[in-house]
C-alpha cells in the first residue's frame, strides 16, 4: 500500500470511529493500538485523556503536544408516546445541517440507526419555510411504534453521531465529518511513528485529549498533571478559500498551502519565531493566522497551567468545520508532521522562551 492509501486508511478509521465528549472510549482504543509500539509509556488518566510518553535524553524542557479526540454529537433527551426522539447537542452543532441526516445511536453494545426528520417541504406553511428550525424542534425517527417499543432498543442519555463516511475527492483532498480534530490526532500519531528511531533532547508527552468541544476539559487536567515547559496544540483552521467568505475579515487560509501557524496573546512569540524558522529552513510551506484573543482551542487552558507554559498553535486548514462534509488536503497533514519533527528533534534545553 502506498503512503497516500495508508494515510487515507488511517484518517478514514479515525473519522468514522465515534467519540463525543464524555464518550471517547472507542476512539481512545483505536489510537492506543496505533501508537503503543512507538511510546515508552501510555497513561489513561481519570478523565480519559490518552497520554503517550516518549522519553528523551534530557528531562528539560518537558514538551506537551495536544490534539483532542472528541467530536461533536448529541444525546437522547426525550422519547414521546409515539416513539420519536428528541436530541440535545453535545458541542457546537449547526441546526441548518441537521435535517435529513442519518445518525447512529449507541446503546450498550448495540448501534441503532435513525434519521433526523422534519415536515416535508410540501406541508410547510410559508412562514415555516423562511426560518431555520431549532434542533429541539426536530425529531429523530428510529422506526419505533411507541415509547415502549423505542425503549427496547435505546435509552435516555444514549449518545449519537451523524452517520457520515470519509471519501476521496480530487487529488489528495478528502471529505468527512469529524476531521475536527481527528486530523490533529493523525498528525500526532504520524509524528510519534516518525520519531520512533529519533533521539529527541526532551521528554515528549503526546496528549489525545477529551471534552475539548465542551470547554477543553481534558487539556486542563492533563496539562496540570504534566506541568510542561512547552505546549504545542495541533488543531484545524477554517479554510477561507471558498465562496462567501471574506479574507480581509477571516484571514487568508487555504487548503494545500501547508499548516497555519498562529500568532497572538495565546502564543509565545519566541516559540512562534522558532517554529517559523524551522519551517523556512525545512522548505515547509506554511500560512500565518492572527488570533487577537484567547483561541477557541485547548491552547487557552494549557498556556495558564501552574505558573505558565510557553505555547504554540499549529493547525491544518479545513473547510466547512462542524459539518458532515468537512474538506481537507492530506498534504497539509504531512507538512504539519514534517514541521513538528523538525521542531521536536532540534529543540534544545537551553532555548530561551522567557518574555
Residues annotated as catalytic (active site), given as ranges = 212
Cα–Cα distance for residue pair 13/22, rounded to 1 Å: 20
In the numeric block, which cell numbers belong to residue 292? 487577537
What is the rounded CA–CA span in Å between residue 118 and residue 184? 34
Distance from CA of residue 185 to its chain's centroid? Answer: 7
Q: How many CB atoms lie within 10 A of CB 168?
A: 14
Q: Rg of the Cα trace of the chain?
A: 21
Instruction: Name the H helices within the chain.
Output: 3-15, 25-35, 126-129, 147-151, 179-194, 217-226, 247-250, 269-281, 299-302, 330-346
> Are the beta carbons of 237 and 336 closer than 8 angstroms?
no
Q: Residue 192 half-sphere exposure, CB side, CA atoms within 13 Å? A: 32
Look at the alpha carbons of 168, 328, 337, 308 in this order and tell me if their dihedral is positive or negative: negative
Amino acid at each position: 500500500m502506498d503512503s497516500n492509501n495508508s494515510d487515507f486508511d488511517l484518517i478514514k478509521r479515525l473519522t468514522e470511529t465515534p467519540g463525543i465528549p464524555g464518550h471517547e472510549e472507542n476512539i481512545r482504543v483505536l489510537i492506543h493500538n496505533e501508537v503503543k509500539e512507538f511510546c515508552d509509556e501510555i497513561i489513561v488518566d481519570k478523565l480519559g485523556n490518552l497520554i503517550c510518553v516518549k522519553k528523551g535524553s534530557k528531562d528539560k524542557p518537558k514538551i506537551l503536544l495536544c490534539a483532542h479526540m472528541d467530536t461533536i454529537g448529541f444525546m437522547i433527551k426525550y422519547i414521546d408516546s409515539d416513539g420519536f426522539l428528541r436530541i440535545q447537542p453535545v458541542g457546537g452543532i449547526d441546526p441548518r445541517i441537521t435535517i435529513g441526516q442519518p445518525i447512529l445511536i449507541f446503546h450498550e453494545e448495540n448501534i441503532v440507526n435513525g434519521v433526523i426528520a422534519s415536515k416535508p417541504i410540501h406541508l410547510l406553511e410559508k412562514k415555516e419555510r423562511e426560518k431555520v428550525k431549532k434542533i429541539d424542534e426536530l425529531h429523530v425517527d428510529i422506526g419505533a411504534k411507541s415509547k415502549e417499543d423505542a425503549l427496547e432498543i435505546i435509552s435516555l442519555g444514549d449518545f449519537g453521531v451523524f452517520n457520515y463516511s470519509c471519501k476521496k475527492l480530487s487529488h489528495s483532498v478528502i471529505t468527512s465529518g469529524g476531521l475536527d480534530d481527528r486530523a490533529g490526532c493523525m498528525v500526532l500519531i504520524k509524528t510519534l511513528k516518525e520519531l520512533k528511531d529519533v533521539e529527541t533532547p526532551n521528554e515528549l508527552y503526546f496528549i489525545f485529549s477529551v471534552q475539548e468541544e465542551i470547554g477543553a476539559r481534558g487539556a486542563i487536567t492533563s496539562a496540570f498533571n504534566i506541568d510542561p515547559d512547552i505546549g504545542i496544540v495541533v488543531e484545524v483552521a477554517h479554510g477561507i478559500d471558498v465562496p462567501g467568505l471574506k479574507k480581509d475579515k477571516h484571514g487568508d487560509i487555504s487548503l494545500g498551502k501547508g499548516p497555519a501557524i498562529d500568532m497572538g496573546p495565546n502564543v509565545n512569540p519566541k516559540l512562534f519565531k522558532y517554529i517559523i524558522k524551522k519551517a523556512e529552513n525545512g522548505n515547509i510551506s506554511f500560512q500565518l493566522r492572527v488570533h487577537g484573543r484567547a483561541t477557541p482551542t485547548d491552547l487557552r487552558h494549557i498556556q495558564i497551567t501552574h505558573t505558565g507554559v510557553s505555547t504554540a498553535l499549529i493547525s491544518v486548514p479545513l473547510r466547512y468545520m462542524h459539518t458532515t462534509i468537512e474538506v481537507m488536503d492530506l498534504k497539509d497533514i504531512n507538512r504539519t508532521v514534517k514541521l513538528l519533527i523538525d521542531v521536536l528533534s532540534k529543540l534544545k534545553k537551553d532555548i530561551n522562551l522567557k518574555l
